[in-house]
Amino acid sequence: MKIHHAPNTRSVRIVWLFEELGLPYELEQYKLGDPLMRSPAYLKVHPMGRVPALEDGDVTLFESGAIVEYVLARHGGGRMRPAVDAPEFPAYLQWLHYAEGMLMPPVNIIVVETILLPPERRNEENVNRATKLLGRMLGAVDTHMAGREYLAGEFSGADIMTGHACTVARRLGADVADKPNVEAYIERCNARPAMQKAWTV
């Protein structure tokens, strides 16, 4: 399988997933803004010219949550995913999707307003609003993580998604000092060798 990847993007999730599962993969690496990501050939892989994208034979996927679900269903061998009738399954689904549904929208605004836009076009009010919202979103994670090591029982695809999103939020300056469960959870995820590898490729 081939992973289309750029450092410090959502594609870190997919490398992390493959490393956790011990699955072999080919890495096609880019830098953000790489002209190759806008080439006709790559736009056939990912129509928005972004990462991640996964090629698995005749199958091509380009959304990180879908890739996580696909890989676990097709290649996970039952690992990192509770059975449908397991008590942890509803929580697994919720936190698998929480990353993109709740955490990443304010993260995206912060990235655009503090990194991608030139200083003269940045809007501090947008940053403040997104930062406040992100704090609320992380608060829900903090409440859920009380007395837990991972989001849905054992380490799972939900942690790949939401653990990565929490890590990115903290890297962007989200204050988790009043969220000890989130802070400990981020440290726990980042201590995993597979995640450490994913951040360095």
pLDDT tens digits, one per residue of 83-125: 999 999 999 999 999 999 999 999 999 999 999 999 999 999 9
- Using the predicted structure, report yes or no on whether residue 152 has a pLDDT greater than 90: yes
Q: What CATH number did the domain enclosing 184 receive?
A: 1.20.1050.10
Token pair for 73: 């269903």
Give the pLDDT confidence of 5-64 residue by residue, as tens digits. Answer: 999 999 999 999 999 999 999 999 999 889 999 999 999 999 999 999 999 999 999 999
- Report if residue 94 sits inside a domain: yes
For residue 156, the model assigns a pLDDT of 98
CA distances to 31, 84, 125, 180, 200 from 12, in Å = 13, 27, 30, 24, 9
Cβ within 8 Å of residue 171, ≥6 positions away = none
For residue 10, the model assigns a pLDDT of 97
C-beta atoms surrounding 174 within 10 Å? 21
For residue 1, the model assigns a pLDDT of 98
- Report if residue 84 sits inside a domain: no
- Report if residue 83 sits inside a domain: no
For residue 33, the model assigns a pLDDT of 84
Is-cis flag, bond preceding 40, omega within 30? no
Question: Rounded to an integer, what distance in angstroms lies between the CA atom of residue 109 and that of residue 106?
Answer: 5
For residue 32, the model assigns a pLDDT of 85
- Report if residue 142 sits inside a domain: yes
Phi-psi region of 49 (alpha: psi -120 to 50; beta: other; left: phi over 0): left
For residue 130, the model assigns a pLDDT of 97
Give the pLDDT confidence of 127-144 residue by residue, as tens digits. Answer: 999 999 999 999 999 999
Domain that holds residue 13: 2-75
When pLDDT is averaged across residues 170-176 and rounded to a whole number, the result is: 93
